[in-house]
Structure formats: structure tokens, C-alpha cells
Amino acid sequence: MAATHALPPAPPVQRPRVLVVGSAFASAAAVMVFVALIGIYLSQRADALLAGETWLPRGLDIPLQQPTTMLFTLLLSCVTMQWAVSAISHDDRINSYIALGTTLLFGVSTVVMTTYLWSLMGADVSANSQSVLIYTITGGHILMLVVAMAFVALMAFRALAGGFSARQHDGVSAAAIFWYANVAVYFLIWISIYVTK
């Protein structure tokens, strides 16, 4: 009599990576908005310089120390964000919590440093278009950073609840994509507004 063998169980169904794809599209859209805003800023600056005018009016001083500190802070946050993705993909929950918390701390410190920089600049929005553009671009970036921080915090709470594992960690990866786009936008702002002035 022939023995019958049972088939192995089917592998668990892989969840669709909708969150990662949506985060990639949202990141691309945000980057395009900031590229357009920076393009307007650079175009108006080029027109003013071609006309022989000074771009930044008297009294509007943009120091370089605070923006550069923010750049290195955000670059370090990319390292901690990737640390979180790597840790959660290896089921190392303790390191993923530490990395996500450190990333949020870097985000908060960037927001604080930006508001301090605004107080140092002395820009008057009602006085000139340069101040309007600078506040629009940097304020929009702070808004994007706050959204990214909320995204990271939400994914950290989901990780605490056990929603992610080595097999399925798309939420933390999606938050990382949006965070990296945020840092890329800041690098464009740093070059175009703070360095070249």
C-alpha cells in the first residue's frame, strides 16, 4: 500500500507594499514643490543681480553656522533612520526603538534651530519679497519635517505594538523614504538660500 504525503503548508501571503509606494509618490511630490519654490527664488535673485541690485536688503543677515549645523544634524538623522530600518528588519526591537527616538530628537533639534535662525535673520515679511520667499521655503520645509516626524512617531508606535517584524517592516521603510526626501530638500535649501545667499 502506497503511503501518501501531505503537501507543505502554503507560505503566508505577503502584504502589498502600498505604504512604501504611497510614501515614494508623496516624497516625489514634496520634492517637486520645493524645487519649484527654489526655482522661483533663484530666478528672482538672478533678475535682481542682473539689474545690478543687491539681493538681500540691508538688515537681512543670514548666518551660516546654524544652517550648517542643521545640515549635519539631518545627515546624522539619515544614519539613525537607516539604523531603525536595519534593526526592525532583523527583529531587533530595542535598537529600532532607540534609532527611531534618536531620529525624532534630531528632527526636534532642527525645528528649534530653525526658529532660532529666524530670530537671528531679522527678516520682515511686510518689507520685501526676499523675506517672503525665504520664510515660505524654510517654513514649508519645517512643515514637511513635522509631517515626517509625525510619520516616524506613528511607525514607532506601530513597532511598539508589534505591527512590524523582519518579514514585514514596510511602515518603517516608508517613513525612511519620506525622511530622506526631507533631508534632500533641506540640502537644496542650504545650497541655494544659506550658502550662495
Grid coordinates belonging to 173: 521603510
Predicted pLDDT of residue 83: 96
The reported pTM is: 0.88
Chain CA centroid to CA 63, Å: 22
Predicted pLDDT of residue 101: 95
The C-alpha atoms of residue 156 and residue 158 are separated, in whole angstroms, by 5
Predicted pLDDT of residue 197: 78
Report CA torsion sign: 12, 18, 19, 25.
positive
Short-list 69, 138, 156, 155, CA closest to 106: 69
CA distances from 8 to 11, 14, 167 (A): 9, 17, 20
The structural domains of the chain, with segments of one domain joined by +, span: 18-46+64-195
Predicted pLDDT of residue 2: 60
CA distances from 15 to 52, 86, 146, 171 (A): 59, 19, 28, 11
Predicted pLDDT of residue 160: 79
Report CA torsion sign: 188, 191, 196, 197.
positive
Q: Which residue has the cell 507594499?
A: 17
Predicted pLDDT of residue 81: 97
Q: Which residue has the cell 526626501?
A: 181
Return left, alpha or beta for 44; rule: phi > 0 is left, psi -120 to 50 is alpha, else beta. Answer: alpha
The C-alpha atoms of residue 180 and residue 146 are separated, in whole angstroms, by 14
Question: In tens digits, what is the pLDDT along the chain, a chain of 197 residues?
Answer: 566 777 788 776 666 788 899 999 999 999 999 999 999 999 999 999 999 888 888 878 899 999 999 999 999 999 999 999 999 888 888 999 999 999 999 999 999 999 999 999 878 888 888 889 999 999 999 999 999 999 999 999 888 787 777 677 888 899 999 999 999 999 999 999 999 87
Short-list 147, 182, 178, 175, CA closest to 159: 175
SS (H, E, C) 91-112: CCHHHHHHHHHHHHHHHHHHHH
Fold for 18-46+64-195, please state it.
Four Helix Bundle (Hemerythrin (Met), subunit A) (1.20.120)
Predicted pLDDT of residue 164: 73
Helix (H) or strand (E) holding 11: none
